[in-house]
Amino acid sequence: MYMKQVFIKKENNHELILFFAGWGSDENLFCRDIKEGYDYMLCFDYQDLEFDYTPVMQYENITVLAWSMGVWVATNILSKEKASTLKIKEKIAFNGTTNPINDTYGIPVEIFKGTMDNFSDKTLTRFRRRICGNTENTKEFLSHLPYRSMDSLKQELWGLWNMVHEDDKEKSLKWDMAIIGMSDKIFPPENQIASWKDTETQVVTQADMEHYCSEFFNHFLLNPEKSNIYQYGKVY
């Protein structure tokens, strides 16, 4: 079973935005306007890490965005030998880390496990409120609500738990930039900062940004160049 790889926009352009979304996502959540001259592929539903590289090999320039658990997934996918021929221009991580279930560098273990063990409609509703953080953001999220079944969400959650805990290989992939929302209630900001501290990754922090930020996603998809992201906060 492959993870889902959906072209939101495919016009045979030379440039591609390759977006690894977070847990629980689908194309409805991230079907948005894209900059002219770019195609756009969304990856989601990580019940395993099987990735088809063929559709993205044709592009002359690939800009990678990864959000939340998608940062870990992208790190694995793009570290494999098959990815070595991909012409990746920039890799930008948003509110996620390469150690996603970790008391120091990611989501605290007991919090992730508690969500998984007690997964229900009520748990999902509470989680979605936490990723949005405020009423306005929640309302916007609900207008793009993912069409995912409870069973598929639970399977993905368990799949991520198992794969992360079986992952003991060092990854050579280097991220160009990490954007950290200092109001993130899923990946604690201090854990994100610690995760990127001893890397070559440039860190940008934004004081009032939540884990899910529709404004940022919209801006990025219309302005995917790294130089357009500095407005989002303090640069380290």
pTM over 0.75, yes/no: yes
Residue 193 pLDDT: 98
- Quick one: fold of 4-235? Rossmann fold (3.40.50)
Packed helices 135-142 and 121-132: angle between N→C axes, nearest 10 degrees: 120
End-to-end CA distance of the chain: 40
In order of 11, 88, 96, 117, 223, the CA distances from 61 in angstroms are 15, 6, 23, 41, 15
Divide the 236 residues of the chain into consecutive groups of 10 and give the mean pLDDT of each group: 91 97 96 96 95 96 98 96 95 97 97 96 96 93 94 96 87 90 97 95 93 93 78 53
Residue 38 pLDDT: 97
